[in-house]
Amino acid sequence: MRNFDGRLTLLDSGQVFHWQETQDGFAALVNGRVMTDQGASPEEAFYFDDKRDYSAVLSACRNIAPAKRAMSLCKGLRVLNQPAWEALLAFILSTNNNLARIKGLVRAFAREYGEVRPYRGALLYGFPSPEILSRADEEDLRAKTHCGYRAPYIIQTARRVADGFDLEALRSLETEEARKQLLTLPGVGGKVADCVLLFGLGHADAFPVDVWVARLMESWFQVEGSLDKVRREARRRLGPNCGIIQQSLFHAARTGQIELEKGKVL
């Protein structure tokens, strides 16, 4: 049983947006399969990152006070291994939006263009495939999902993937090289690329920098400058699992569990 405030991991950590509450727990359609927050199939074990030794990640940063503090505050938090395409679509939609609206957008895409499956008194909707979205009409897409100016990005990126852009191949590339390739997709900048690398392609050393994390890095580590400078400095300081640590930093900062005050650690 995964119980980092249980449902917080799934519904409120800003990693994933289409899980639904059913009669007995949370469920979602992932890659065409039903997953639950209680499940222990091989697919679910991978999705919930059961294999990773989080205590080892914590102890590896025991001499970095802010990181240790954040991870201790977020015990049980996991970095989910989502299908790459699902992470890519969700995080293109995430740009310049808040979590509540991202959730609404992702669900609109699933409802309007995805597969539906009844499950325990609920209807689960899966992510639409790249093929479906590559053929969508832009005006229809806007009208049905209210995704606004992101519509052409979605359609063009879906087309790239449907036409053979190999997301899975990025899994085995070095992180920076995989990042460069993601940056060629419409609607994908540095932040979105890092989220796809971390949440969808198994790159634990990807470090997404948003406004929260930037503030926090300045407050805790006195790291300032451009987002890319912050990103590089964070990767250097926090090491090969910086992305795992980042989730705790993000969550602790966003939920106000820690104070952000310039020059003050903790």
Q: Which two tokens stand for residue 172?
A: 């085995």
255 in contact with DNA (CB under 7 A): no
Q: How many CB atoms lie within 10 A of CB 2?
A: 19
The residue whose two tokens read 């690329």 is: 193
Site track for DNA across 89-108, x = CB under 7 A = -----xxxxxxxxx-x----
**Coil, strand or helix at 94:** coil
The Cα angle at residue 18 between residues 13 and 22, in degrees rounded to 5: 100
Interaction pattern, residues 127-156, with DNA; x per rule: CB under 7 A: ---------------x---xxxx---x---
Subset of 168-227 contacting DNA (CB under 7 A): 183, 185-193, 195, 208, 210-213, 226
CA distance 53 to 64: 18
The string of DSSP codes covering 190-233 is HHHHHHHHHHHS--TT-----HHHHHHHHHHH---SSHHHHHHH
Q: Which CB sits closer to DNA, 63 or 259?
A: 259
Q: Catalytic positions, please?
A: 191
250 binds DNA (CB under 7 A): yes
Verify binding: residue 63, DNA, rule CB under 7 A: no
Among 10, 11, 15, 83, the residue binding DNA under the rule CB under 7 A is: 15
- Which residue ranges make up the site for DNA (CB under 7 A)? 13-15, 94-102, 104, 142, 146-149, 153, 183, 185-193, 195, 208, 210-213, 226, 228-229, 246-247, 250-251, 254
